[in-house]
């Protein structure tokens, strides 16, 4: 096939879509009024924000008053967890439950709280990358203030039994937060039916700009502020509203949730074809559950090669993807998610994540299927580790 | 993170990849757990490195530093190879991101490990000449 550009890293970020950009443009140009101002161009901004809030609420099955705009997923996670902890500590509740393979926005926030005197239970996941609701149930104590479980994993795409976990938390009267940054637009979400108390979402994963997100906070939960200052967001989150991005987020979530079954059908077909073809490569394995996984997520490990080399080689062919190798994680250890599902370090280093999105076509899949095996073969030919694997040596003994 | 054009060029077209079946010295450093292993093969004639090949499991920087290190010692006297520092490799590549500097250390060590093997095969104790070369990294990212 002729060289082409294939963006297959939609779980990292997405391109702003044309309808989103069009919806935003007026608010980046003539509609510059401060939403707190009383004159007409200020009120226009305030009206646009209200309308956006209604749209976001509708997409989640929430009430308009339960949506707060933030700077993104990380801020929403920090707000939900730190402030739930803060308010609960005053009632003597200083125990938090989360899982070992959360996004760092949750994990590092929990680790910070541990230093502040909170106790955190990290629930393990099984080898498929699924949380067992029973484990959550058993971990809940009288002093548990919050359970935080991600809706869908960003690396291996596993979709968690959120409704079951929500039911347990509601029964036990423990607040339930979910980081739904990856799930929004890929999985139907109903915060009422799923008993979700707090939910984080982000715009740039669904074709809105970077730097915008939201926190859903159920009526009756009154978390203190993370950001103090002016009276924006009903005095819950200070800072002059980013009107254009808020409008963009609303347009994006409206479009992303308009036909989730259709998206799932289209992308999972492409996903499964890529998985089936790439698993024909010797010494490869699929990471994560084959069925309970996000429709666009492919995560495969190739033994004997290192992920960053794989990504750079793919980039030379025009393919953008991601990996859980240490070299790409910016730390000395490979992805905590891949280690959590029991992969040895050497296998985690050789992982490839392809995340398909609205812009991908069957031709993109063909191109990926053509290029990846050739690159794996080339890298293995120059890998002293591959030699040892071929000799059947135990490479993980060290 | 940004790689220099030179790093990318060496990654895309690595020099001296392969093996030397009748090598005079072979050295391997790194380990699978850390995610980088370099194996160097040297052919030495009358104190001159006449041929050098490498195989590397690792990131872009690991491949580029291996490639550059082989270029810097090919055709050179053994004494020059002994003096090759990781800094020289980094400079020749127009720099490396800080988090990748350990790859250049690994390249230097791989050459030293191969030279140690060469001396050992000659019946010479390599340690006074080459210095101590760790067999494998004791901790990732040294």
SS (H, E, C) chain A: CCCCCEECECCCCCCCCHHHHHHHHHHHCCCCCCCCCCCHHHHHHHHHHHHHHHHHHHHHCCCHHHEEEECCHHHHHHHHHHHHHHHHHCCCCCEEEEECCCCHHHHHHHHHHHHCCCEEEEECCCCCCCCCHHHHHHHCCCCEEEEECCCECCCCCEECCHHHHHHHHHHHCCEEEEECCCCECCECCCCCCCCCCEEEEECCCCCCCCCCEEEEECCCCCCCCCCCCCCHHHHCCCCCCCHHHHHHHHHHHHHHCCCHHHHHHHHHHHHHHHHHHHCCCCCEEECCCCCCECCCEEEEEECCCCHHHHHHHHHHCCEECECCCHHHHCCCCCCHHHHHCCCCHHHHHCEEEEECCCCCCHHHHHHHHHHHHHHHHHHHHCCHHHHHHHCCCCCCCC
Residue B63: inside a domain? yes
Residue B132: inside a domain? no
Q: What is the pLDDT of residues A149-196, one digit of tens each?
A: 999 999 999 999 999 999 999 999 999 999 999 999 999 999 999 999
Mind giving me the DSSP string for B19-58? --TT-SEEEEEEETTTTEEEEEEEEEETTEEEEEEEEEES
Model confidence at B131, in pLDDT bands (50, 70, 90)? confident
Span B11-39, mean pLDDT?
95
Model confidence at B1, in pLDDT bands (50, 70, 90)? confident
Q: Which of A316, A327, A345 sits opposite B12 (nearest CB)?
A: A316
Residue B81: inside a domain? yes
- Taking 60 as the threshold, does the pLDDT of residue B119 lie above it? yes
* Residue of chain B whose Cα is closest to the Cα of A331: B99
Please answer yes or no on whether B55 and A308 come within 8 Å at the CB atom.
no
Q: Which of B32, B99, B100 sits opposite A346 (nearest CB)?
A: B32
Residue B66: inside a domain? yes
Q: Within an 8 Å CB–CB cutoff, is residue B142 touching chain A?
A: no
Span B131-141, mean pLDDT?
63
Write down the mean pLDDT value for chain B: 93
Q: Which of A306, A384, A396 sits opposite B35 (nearest CB)?
A: A306
Q: What is the pLDDT of residues A342-380, one digit of tens each?
A: 999 999 999 999 999 999 999 999 999 999 999 999 999
Residue B134: inside a domain? no
Model confidence at A338, in pLDDT bands (50, 70, 90)? very high
Q: Distance between CA atoms of A19 and A277, rounded to whole angstroms?
A: 34
The 10 Å Cβ neighbour count of residue A398 is 12
Q: Within an 8 Å CB–CB cutoff, is residue B66 touching chain A?
A: no
Please answer yes or no on whether A332 and B11 come within 8 Å at the CB atom.
no
What is the extent of the structural domain holding B10? 5-122
Residue B138: inside a domain? no
Q: Within an 8 Å CB–CB cutoff, is residue A386 touching chain B?
A: yes
How many folded domains does chain B comprise?
1
Write down the mean pLDDT value for chain A: 96
Interior CA angle at B79 toward B78 and B84, to 5°?
95
For chains A and B, CB pairs below 8 A equal 79
This model of the complex carries an ipTM of 0.94
Which chain A residues are Cβ-neighbours of B34 within 8 angstroms?
A: 326, 332, 345
Q: How far is B84 from chain A (nearest CA, A)?
A: 23
Residue A327: active-site member: yes
Percent with pLDDT over 90 in chain A: 96
Q: How far is A258 from chain B (nearest CA, A)?
A: 37
Q: How far is A306 from chain B (nearest CA, A)?
A: 5
The residue of A339, A382, A393 whose CB has the most chain B CBs within 10 angstroms, and thus the best one to mutate to test that interface, is A382
Model confidence at A398, in pLDDT bands (50, 70, 90)? low
Q: Within an 8 Å CB–CB cutoff, is residue B33 touching chain A?
A: yes
Is B95 in contact with B4 (CB distance < 8 Å)? yes
Please answer yes or no on whether A386 and B60 come within 8 Å at the CB atom.
no
Q: At B51, which CATH number?
A: 3.90.1010.10
The residue of A385, A389, A395, A396 whose CB has the most chain B CBs within 10 angstroms, and thus the best one to mutate to test that interface, is A385
Residue A316: what pLDDT? 97
| B residues 106-125 lying closer than 8 A (beta carbon) to A | none
Please answer yes or no on whether B32 and A385 come within 8 Å at the CB atom.
yes
Q: Which of B55, B100, B136 sits opposite A384 (nearest CB)?
A: B55
Q: Which of B28, B58, B99 sits opposite A306 (nearest CB)?
A: B58
Model confidence at B136, in pLDDT bands (50, 70, 90)? low
Percent with pLDDT over 70 in chain A: 99
- Taking 90 as the threshold, does the pLDDT of residue A136 lie above it? yes
| B residues 44-63 lying closer than 8 A (beta carbon) to A | 55-63
Q: What is the pLDDT of residues A18-29, one digit of tens each?
A: 999 999 999 999
Residue B34: active-site member: yes
Say which residue, A379 or B141, is predicted with more confidence.
Answer: A379
Q: Which of A306, A382, A398 sits opposite B36 (nearest CB)?
A: A306
Residue B129: inside a domain? no
Model confidence at B142, in pLDDT bands (50, 70, 90)? low
Of the candidates A110, A295, A320, A327, the residue annotated as catalytic is: A327
SS3 B77: strand
Q: Distance between CA atoms of B64 and B46, rounded to whole angstroms?
A: 28
Q: Distance between CA atoms of B118 and B134, rounded to whole angstroms?
A: 16
The residue of A318, A332, A387, A389 whose CB has the most chain B CBs within 10 angstroms, and thus the best one to mutate to test that interface, is A332
**Could you tell me which residues are beta bridge partners of residue A67?**
A216
Phi, psi for A176 (deg, rounded to 5)? -120, 115
């Amino acid at each position: 096939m002729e060289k082409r550009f294939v963006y297959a890293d939609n779980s990292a970020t997405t391109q702003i879509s044309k309808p989103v950009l069009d919806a935003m443009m007026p608010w980046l140009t003539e509609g510059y009024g401060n939403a707190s101002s009383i004159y007409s161009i200020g009120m226009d901004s305030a009206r646009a924000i209200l309308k956006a809030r209604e749209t976001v609420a509708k997409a989640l099955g929430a009430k308009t008053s339960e949506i707060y705009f933030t700077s993104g997923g990380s801020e929403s996670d920090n707000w939900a967890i730190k402030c739930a902890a803060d308010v609960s500590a005053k009632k003597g509740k200083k125990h938090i439950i989360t899982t070992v393979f959360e996004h760092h926005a949750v994990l590092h926030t929990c680790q910070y709280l541990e230093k502040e005197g909170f106790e955190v239970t990290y629930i393990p996941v099984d080898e498929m990358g699924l949380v067992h609701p029973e484990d959550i149930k058993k971990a809940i104590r009288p002093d548990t203030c919050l359970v935080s479980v991600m809706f869908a994993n960003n690396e291996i795409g596993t979709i968690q039994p959120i409704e079951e976990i929500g039911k347990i938390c509601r029964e036990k009267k423990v607040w339930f937060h979910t980081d739904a940054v990856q799930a929004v637009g890929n999985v139907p979400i109903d915060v009422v039916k799923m008993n979700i108390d707090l939910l984080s979402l982000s715009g740039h994963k669904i074709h809105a700009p970077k730097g915008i997100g939201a926190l859903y906070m159920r009526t009756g939960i009154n978390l203190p502020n993370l950001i103090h200052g002016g009276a924006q967001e009903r005095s819950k989150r200070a800072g002059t509203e980013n009107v254009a991005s808020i409008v963009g987020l609303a347009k994006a979530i409206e479009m992303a949730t308009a036909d989730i079954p259709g998206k799932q059908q289209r992308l999972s077909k492409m996903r499964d074809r890529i998985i089936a073809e790439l698993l024909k490569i010797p010494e490869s394995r699929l990471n994560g559950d084959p069925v309970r996984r996000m429709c666009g997520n492919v995560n495969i490990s190739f033994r004997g090669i290192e992920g960053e080399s794989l990504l750079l080689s793919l980039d030379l062919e025009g393919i953008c993807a991601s990996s859980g190798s240490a070299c790409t994680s910016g730390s000395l250890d490979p992805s905590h998610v891949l280690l959590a599902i029991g992969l040895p370090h050497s296998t985690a280093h050789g992982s490839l994540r392809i995340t398909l999105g609205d812009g991908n076509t069957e031709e993109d899949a063909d191109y990926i299927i053509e290029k990846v095996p050739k690159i794996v073969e080339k890298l293995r030919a120059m890998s002293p580790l591959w030699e040892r694997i071929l000799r059947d040596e135990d490479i993980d003994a060290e | 993170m940004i790689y220099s054009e030179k790093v990318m060029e060496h990654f895309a077209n690595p020099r001296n990849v392969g093996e030397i079946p009748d090598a005079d010295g072979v050295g391997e450093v790194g380990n699978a757990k850390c995610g980088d292993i370099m194996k160097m093969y040297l052919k030495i004639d009358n104190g001159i490195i006449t041929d050098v090949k490498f195989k590397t499991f690792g990131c872009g920087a690991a491949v580029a530093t291996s490639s550059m290190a082989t270029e810097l010692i090919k055709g050179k006297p053994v004494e020059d190879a002994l003096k090759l520092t990781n800094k020289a490799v980094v400079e020749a590549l127009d720099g490396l991101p800080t988090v990748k500097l350990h790859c250049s250390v690994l390249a230097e060590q791989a050459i030293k490990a191969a030279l140690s093997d060469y001396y050992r095969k000659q019946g010479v104790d390599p340690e006074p000449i080459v210095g101590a070369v760790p067999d494998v990294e004791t901790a990732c990212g040294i």
